[in-house]
Structure 1
């Protein structure tokens, strides 16, 4: 299932979401697409390498936890992450406010990255991508807008169908799939294919918990 849009209109311009989209797209364009730098070296330097973080948890390690959120491995990787950020980020920003949302995004991404490190502390494979932070956004969205609807593209063999589905179903299935893949990966390699599944799981849970504690229940939208 591929989300296309949601039923909740934001009441304020989501400037932080726009800036995050621009930063992620701009960094990928300037580094990977136009080749202004050695992108493999950028990933090795600014990507998240769990072993390096566990060996020496210092300012550089914290920098890696954050910088890795703004690097992507391919156009598909970037596009998928930005699609979810575009659809769900504006509403979470609407609920938390611009500065609150920015702090939430960075803390969610940092803690999601930390979850990946804790599950796979000896990995030397660089992990990159905004998906941990965006997973936190998804978790928060589910708590804040549990009754919203998501316009979703559903592939059915050679055909596709567009349906309006409950956000709880779309995001719930996404989380269950991540959890299932995470448990499968534990038995082999926690970052199989360079995908930090437990950053997704951790980010989603962290985002949901933060939203539940930060936003009063009376302020949460039911539809």
Structure 2
């Protein structure tokens, strides 16, 4: 299912969401200008290569910078191709504006980077021997999705589903959409482990989503009463 739009309203301009899309876009255009050999080196240096951190002696031997942990941040701004880039930025646009609305710009940026950081750590732990660079904003965006699920549990998502040559457009409940996405990540991770094939950081996506679910409440703007005093954090609970 490809999300097209959601029904949750927002009150403020999503400055950080737009800014993240812009920065990712500029970096992606820069990637397109790089020769193939330099682009590969770019990904290896700024993406997460799990074996680089799991086996530091090997990493030093092959020439990776020692003690450099910036890839856990920089990998979030790299993309391997047009589909990867457009899919991530479109998803960020649909769900990021609402989450930013509830957190505020600075809190949202910190939450986004933290989700991507923890997604990268989960990818490292789940694939320590991998020598392939993991790049993309998917882990950070998965954290945004996890926050959205709990902040807007009653929203609906309009989706596009390509059924052979018949395109289907319909609305699904937020829980249905994210539940389907969650199961797809688990299935992809299990199948990838069984075949020992890389390419998608399935467990990293789940790590980012879990980070969003666990930590979103610490980044919410406090709600103020009419007198201006802070009374509580705005958290909508899932119906039990």
TM-score by length of 1: 0.91
Q: Where has structure 1 moved over 4 Å in runs of 4 or more? A: 212-218
Structure 1 residue 158 displacement after superposition: 0.8
Q: Is the 8 A contact 1:3 1:151 kept in 2?
A: yes
For residues 211 and 105 of structure 1, the distance between their equivalents in structure 2, rounded to whole angstroms, comes to 10
Say whether 1:165 aligns with 2:164: no
Per-residue CA deviations over 1:125-156 (Å, capped at 9, x if unaligned) read 11111101011111111011111011111222
Alignment partner, residue 11 of structure 1: 11
| Contiguous gaps of at least 5 residues in structure 1 | none
Structure 1 residue 212 displacement after superposition: 4.3
Structure 1 residue 6 displacement after superposition: 0.5
Structure 1 residues 48 and 175, CA, compared in 2 at 3 Å: closer, same or farther?
same
Q: Is the 8 A contact 2:120 2:204 kept in 1?
A: yes
Say whether 1:121 aligns with 2:128: yes
Q: Is the 8 A contact 2:150 2:237 kept in 1?
A: no
Per-residue CA deviations over 1:29-73 (Å, capped at 9, x if unaligned) read 1122x337821121121111001122349751x201111111110
Structure 1 residues 206 and 139, CA, compared in 2 at 3 Å: closer, same or farther?
same
- Alignment partner of 1:195: what SS? coil
Q: Is the 8 A contact 2:192 2:198 kept in 1?
A: no
Q: Is the 8 A contact 2:108 2:219 kept in 1?
A: no
Say whether 1:95 aligns with 2:110: no
Q: Higher mean Cα deviation, 147-156 or 179-188?
A: 179-188
Q: Where is the helix percentage greater, Structure 1 or Structure 2?
A: 1
Structure 1 residue 210 displacement after superposition: 1.0
- Alignment partner of 1:154: what SS? strand
Which structure has the larger Rg over C-alpha atoms?
A: 2
For residues 172 and 213 of structure 1, the distance between their equivalents in structure 2, rounded to whole angstroms, comes to 23
Q: Is the 8 A contact 1:147 1:222 kept in 2?
A: no
| Contiguous gaps of at least 5 residues in structure 2 | 60-65, 223-231
For residues 211 and 163 of structure 2, the distance between their equivalents in structure 1, rounded to whole angstroms, comes to 33
Alignment partner, residue 20 of structure 2: 20
Alignment partner, residue 220 of structure 1: 235
Say whether 1:205 aligns with 2:220: no
- Alignment partner of 1:194: what SS? coil
For residues 70 and 197 of structure 1, the distance between their equivalents in structure 2, rounded to whole angstroms, comes to 18
Structure 1 residues 152 and 197, CA, compared in 2 at 3 Å: closer, same or farther?
same
**CA RMSD of superposed structures (Å):** 2.1
Q: Is the 8 A contact 1:148 1:222 kept in 2?
A: no
TM-score by length of 2: 0.85
